[in-house]
Amino acid sequence: MINSNWKNKNVFITGATGLLGSWLTRLMVDERANVIALNRDIVPRSILWSSSREFEYIKDELTVVHGCLEDYSFLERVLNEYEIEVVFHLGAQTIVGTANRNPLSTFESNIRGTYNLLEACRRNKELIKAVIVASSDKAYGVQEKLPYDEKTPLCGTHPYDVSKSCADLIAHTYFNTYRLPVCVTRCGNLYGPGDLNFNRIIPGTIQSLLKGENPIIRSDGSYIRDYFYVRDGALAYKILAERMMEDKILGESFNFSNEIHITVLELVKKIIGIMEVNLEPVILGKATNEIKHQYLSAQKARSMLNWAPNFTLDEGLKETIDWYKMFLKK
């Protein structure tokens, strides 16, 4: 159902070709918003440019701007010239291993990119009605008390986690000091159709099983995580933005999760069961600089936003597996 409040609203989405960015972009196009999508790299296999029926109409509905978050002047120009009202800041370097190998590029994208965008929003404050900054459950770092709630301190330790802790705190600075209309989201591990990062456990496992190969687990298999379906994620961002504009819920952080925590080994075995194959995972036990146990409470989002996920883990995995079966045939 289309929310008329979005019709012709100027919306800027960073990270639009990513997993969550693609689904959120589609959702905003469906709501008849004027979507301006930031595109740093050409990613022809991104679901955003897909020829599938679900996304084939998207490319003709978008204004695409080419640039990077590290370029402040570019961001200020886009916000001003396109008279942006709502910003969804999803653009980031999201892979833990990449951050461990080269932390500088991750810090530049995730930290500098965030304060550049927020400063550009501050300079165009009279236009801006809502800014949602994507943080991560990784921003909480290692904690003895689980699940994380929004009062848990931000204590990232390793490069990716620290980049998210910093970006998260910077977002709150812009609300507390300048009253920029900002909220922060912290999601579990997003998965779903369109994820092209095959070093992640879900797409990597599905790809291996479709090729008849034993899936690889880098850790010892006991790491506990949230897994959050991307379609639920996109809808959560939309709902939060609406509440920010309608009810003036500003300066808050929200965890989004289906609140089901599962070990990596249990997850891989679940995927094997759904796909009905007879292959056992290979456990390497070589993961380093990763948080061992992390999962979220989404009680605040449930109570303040009246939000709840629409998909169970099994339902999300089944849709995801079906998508990869078609995608990997190409």
The residue among 24, 105, 17, 97 whose CA lies nearest residue 64 is 17
- Residue ranges in 71-158 assigned as alpha helix (H): 72-81, 96-101, 103-107, 113-123
Whether 82 sits among the annotated catalytic residues: the reply is: no
Give the tokens for residue 62: 């978008």
Nearest to 135 by CA among 118, 160, 116: 160
Q: Which of 160, 227, 229, 324 is catalytic?
A: 160
The 3-state DSSP class for residue 134 equals: strand
Enumerate residues 6+ apart whose C-beta is below 8 A from 78.
12, 36, 38, 65, 67, 84, 120
Question: For residue 189, what are the β-bridge partners?
Answer: 227
- Between CA 114 and CA 96 the distance in angstroms is 18
* CB hemisphere CA count around 65 (13 angstroms): 22
Nearest CA to 33 among 13, 11, 54? 11
Q: Name which of 251, 264, 83, 248 is nearest 174 in CA terms.
A: 251
| Number of residues written out for the chain | 330
Structure tokens at 135: 């943080």
If DSSP codes are grouped into helix, strand and coil, which group holds residue 14? strand
Could you give the 3-state DSSP secondary structure of residue 235?
helix
> Which residue numbers are catalytic?
160
